[in-house]
Chains A and B, each alone.
Chain A
């Protein structure tokens, strides 16, 4: 299954299928991006990150793709499992010059529901 557009709130997939969650970011100067998973009642949990000098990065069952031309980020989850059910947020790092560090701005989340 695949989410389309920034504001699609829910993606429902069958267990074992691949999932694709999409995100559009706002700032063309952003150079670092992170995907977080948030389960109910918990804080966001780091999944995978990517710098702007890359267009693809793979982790365990997850892949992040970055298309800087259209400011688009996607998270692919292979063989989706019930434990993957959560809200997924993309976040872009915006450089904060006065503090000489970055600050993370979150996009709207996508709820992933995995059907057994």
Chain B
């Protein structure tokens, strides 16, 4: 049973053309995360939501934005994708247990920029 669902699995966009990746969850977790994972590298945290509170990582480019309209859904917007933004984008959720709850990941969206 899929609990963190990312759509689409594969996304191709053109250089500079805005793109949105989506994530939904059936776990009712209040924390949602977006990670970027480039080939043969570890996932890198971009930002996270604690309920509706948005928390950006200091080194996340302004080109990356996020929206969380409700508990179940979270979106990653890339305003002007560059070739360097080609990567796997992973969404994850966790319960609020003071930081002692594992993250549950979706299977990611692989973004190609042409």
Contact = CB atoms under 8 A, between A and B. Distances in A.
Interface residues of B, number: 29
A43 B53 contact: no
B48 interface: yes
Interface string A70-97: 0000000000000000000100010110
Interface string B77-97: 000000000000010101010
A109 B39 CA distance: 11
Taking chain A's interface residues, is the majority helix, strand, or loop, or is none over half, making it mixed?
strand
Interface string A3-31: 00000010000000000000000000001
B113 interface: no
B45 interface: yes
Contact of B100 (A42, A96, A102): A102
The contact size tier of chain A is 20 to 34
B107 A95 contact: no
Interface in A93-116: 93, 95-96, 98-109
Contacts of B4: 43
Nearest to B49: A99
Given A42-B107, A101-B98, 19 more contacts: A9-B40, A32-B100, A43-B4, A43-B6, A43-B90, A43-B92, A44-B90, A44-B105, A46-B102, A89-B43, A93-B99, A93-B100, A96-B99, A101-B94, A101-B96, A102-B99, A102-B101, A103-B33, A108-B41
Interface of A: 9, 31-32, 34, 36, 41-46, 49, 51, 89, 93, 95-96, 98-109
